[in-house]
Amino acid sequence: MKKLLIMILLAVLLSGCQEEEKVSPYTALAEYIEKWQASEFNDMYDTYLTTTTKTAYTNEVFSEKYEKLYEDLETANLSIEILDKEIPWEEEASVTIPGKISFDTYVGKIEYSKDFVLEKTIAEDEKEKWNIQWDPSFILPNLELTDKVHFSTTYAERGEILDTEGNPMATNGEVFQVGVVPGKFNEEESLQRLSEILNMDEEYIKSQYTLSWAKPDYVMPIKKFLLEEEQTVMAAEEIEGISVKTVEERIYPLGQSAAHLIGYIGEVTAEDLESLEGYSPGDMVGKRGLEQLLEDRLKAKNGEKVYLEKEDGSQVDIVASEPINGETITLTINGKVQQNLFETLKEESGTAAVMDPTSGKVRGLVSLPTFDPNDYVLGLSSQQRQALEENPEKPTINRFSYTYSPGSTMKLLTAVVGLVNGEIDPAATYEINEKSWQKDDSWGGYKVNRYYEEDNIVNLESGLKFSDNIYFARAGLDMGAEKFQEGLSRLGVGEALPFIYPTVKSQISNSETIEDDVLLADTAYGQGELLMNIVHLASIYGGVVNNGKMMQPILLEEEEETVWQEEIVSSEQAILLKDYLRKIVTEGSSQKANVQGREMAGKTGTSEMKTEQGPSGDENGLFVAYDQQDPTLLTAMLVEGVDKKKPRGSTYVVELTRSFFEKIDVRE
């Protein structure tokens, strides 16, 4: 009896062991999927594939197909989903389990259904095992071993930048590309001649056609040229071994006129690829100006397609994306104004802004000296780029982004603040009999100087008309630092300019407050530490011209016209100040601003760049002006180094402004 019980127990134990040896196909498939998602392709092949599959496809073919295609497609987020987990399998030698495969690629998402066929086998240890049938269509739908996988690109166009009248400021067009065919080019006879025609260094030209990948019959690109430079290109083409063709490129029709405003594009750098998403080596990206600021809107997205070419020549599309062109963006800039502003100032160092004070629309914005953005996209040698960057005139510095002392243009701001807070009475006068003045002995040797001595009983009108430093210094002191600063804050001084183009914010002083009477007096007449951006200065003057409403400066036509400050002065005070600004030109210090057929009004300013009273320092000259018959082109202009000009000082800027208004008429 005891022996029988032992035999029964052994039978039960053996039966349990046999049950444990049964392996589910779902378990094998889950392990296989885990290896797949970990890209362990060798293990997938060695451990899980059927003998039939291994006979048809070598491990080398299997692994290389996966690795190569996944790398080329930039595969990510691989997902393999089992669609039916309750298929009976215990008594089956083969089972088919439906699945779904998906993954992201650089083109888009690929998603397809695929059945997993598993076969039951007995392993060497006599345990059951499930193996998977495989073919290339597990990698890509419909893929066969004899297929060729192709990748194609449909190029999209970068968005254009247009001026307010629809004229291009940054566009896409054809240019000439000059290249050298090394095997046909006689360096000894022709290199010097080519260098002279193209105005390029011989060594640079040579470096381009002797690159490591050059071959005798390859066309090695040397430089691109605008279509208007056809004469130069044709002269080069006469040389044996020179090839010329047209290619697509970014073009800046206004050239130097709008260089700092529009900027240019260039090839992405390693740093760009780290900080920007969606770019690959060789892509172009905005490098400066609006090209950079509006990059997300201007950039194009090329259309891509992955397809199979079958043995019979037919094609099967796998995944495709449509090309998406960049946006076309229209600026408030008027191209004629922009070009004329540049032509007026092209020999100077400085900056200027033209604004419509009734809307806040910026019609012109220049920084001088400048560069030609076309040079950057057509090709600059390292020597040319270095020469630009090391030029003592600093043509690559964008001056309209920075702040400057407003000089005596500040006097209108002091008048605005004083009128609003009631501390300046237009009829009240100061008796000023001296050329130099100080509050008291506490100022030591420091004095405020005036340059027009004929007027001794000075009110607001004559103070503005003849730019009397002592009048405004005394007005500032009588007002007091607290009220003065509060008034300037209402004009936006000390806050970021609400302008799409980034600028340095204005400041009241280096310490952001007026700490003593000397600084208060100096600031009130325009020689303190107050610094202001040229667009901000134009906006404040525009607020007076617009009867007290200071508009937010806008650069894109799509931007809504917005009042920045509702009432910087009352309408009555604005009328009074506009009358004074007109008299500055008709009777006062800026009579050279008169233009036939216009009613010019404005205020000059000169700021000395020095750290202490005494010998003269370098001077910047300013003039803010407009035509009272048509105030839509209020112009704020700053020129550096006017102490070395003829006529000297701000009068030089007055004459430049007059020249600008004489030749510009946007109504033509």
Q: Which tokens sit at 347?
A: 């020999």
- Specify whether the CB–CB gap between 164 and 330 falls below 8 A: yes
* Dist. CA 667–CA 426, nearest whole Å: 37
Specify whether the CB–CB gap between 243 and 219 falls below 8 A.
Answer: yes
- Give CA angle at 622 (617, 623), nearest 5°: 155
CB-based contacts of 234: which residues, under 8 Å, 6+ apart?
A: 244
| The dihedral sign for the CA sequence 273, 274, 278, 280 | positive
Is 539 a catalytic site residue?
no
- Considering Cα of 493, then 495, then 498, then 501, what sign does the dihedral take? positive
Looking up tokens 């006017």 gives: 642
CB of 582 closer than 8 Å to CB of 599: yes
Contact 405, 509 (CB under 8 A): no
Separation between Cα atoms, residue 150 and residue 179, nearest integer Å = 30
- Closest C-alpha to 208, from 234, 237, 243: 243
- How many of the other CB atoms lie within 10 Å of CB of 581? 25
DSSP string, 279-316: --TT-EEE-SHHHHHTHHHH--B-EEEEEEE-TTS-EE
Report which secondary-structure segment, H or E, holds 120: strand 109-122
Tokens of 489: 């804050």
Phi-psi region of 379 (alpha: psi -120 to 50; beta: other; left: phi over 0): left
Tokens 């595969």, residue located: 75
Q: Are 374 and 251 in contact (CB under 8 A)?
A: yes
502 SS3 class: coil
Cβ atoms of 492 and 565 closer than 8 Å = yes
Residue 614 burial (CB < 10 Å; 0-12/13-18/19+)? exposed
Catalytic residue among 257, 405, 408, 467: 408
Which active-site residues does the annotation give? 408
